[in-house]
Amino acid sequence: MIRMLVADDDSLVRLALTDILGDAPGITVVAEAADGAEAVELARAHRIDVALMDIRMPRLDGIAATERLRGLPEPPEVVVLTTFDLDQYVYDALTAGASGFLLKDSDPAEIIRAVRVVADGQAMLHPTAARRLIDRYHHTTARGTPDARSRIARLTPRETEVLALLADGASNAQIAGALAMRESTVKAHVSRILATLEVGNRVQAALCARDAGVVG
């Protein structure tokens, strides 16, 4: 059972999301928050597997809340909610540790799928906006920086191949098919890649790969 927290300052949106998720098999909403600060408090009080997080909220916004959630001893995965005109906020949320983002007008089935995907340790980024967001707003360092290159250099050649596909948005199953390996082997490679690169999730690994020039 995936234990959910829903955080949105709009009570109607929060109710709609709770209803959508509550009706999905294998998912239960155990907490609801009206702002980021309350989300962090509730995550400390309950075991949360996935938090569905709005970006713009009072007291503590979704970006800051995501960073605090990911810093907890048992951090939940985070999926942020946004609209197209909030691209910079989405990028900031991803670098804060979110495993993905959705548009607020996403189909209910897509929201449910995103929750299941990130609960399984993978990333879920809106397909038409993901590459544009990362490419356009990855300002923190120039491409090919020494820090990124030095971290990538610690990987084995096979891990680098896996990272390149991961950074292009491939799922574990797609990576397994492309590299002719078992999906369980891909998962093991991804775990080692995250540890070696000292990042918290696949999105941050992809950003590191782009910094190092591993992918275009």
* 121 and 188 co-located in one domain: no
Q: Which residue would you say has higher pLDDT here, 169 or 4?
A: 4
110 shares its domain with 62: yes
Q: Which stretch of DSSP H or E encloses residue 163?
A: helix 157-167
Q: In this predicted model, what pLDDT tens digit does every residue of 5-51 receive, in sequence order?
A: 999 999 999 999 999 999 999 999 999 999 999 999 999 999 999 99
First CA to last CA distance, the chain: 38
The parent domain of residue 60 ranges over: 2-136
Cα 58 to Cα 16, 39, 199, distances in angstroms = 20, 12, 28
* pLDDT tens digits, 130-163: 555 656 555 544 445 677 788 899 999 999 999 9
**Cα 177-180-184 angle, rounded to 5 deg:** 80
Q: Domain of 33: which CATH number?
A: 3.40.50.2300
Among 78, 102, 136, where does a domain finish? Answer: 136
Structure token pair of residue 27: 């998912």
Domain shared by 58 and 148, yes or no: no
Domain finish residue from 100, 120, 136: 136
Average pLDDT estimate for 159-170:
88
Residue 157 sits in a domain whose CATH number is 1.10.10.10
Q: With a cut of 60, say whether residue 129 has pLDDT above it.
A: no
pLDDT for 173 equals 87
Residues 107 and 194 in one domain: no
pLDDT at 216 over 60: no
| 157 CB-near residues (< 8 Å, 6+ apart) | none
Q: Are residues 96 and 196 in the same domain?
A: no
In total, how many domains does the chain have? 2
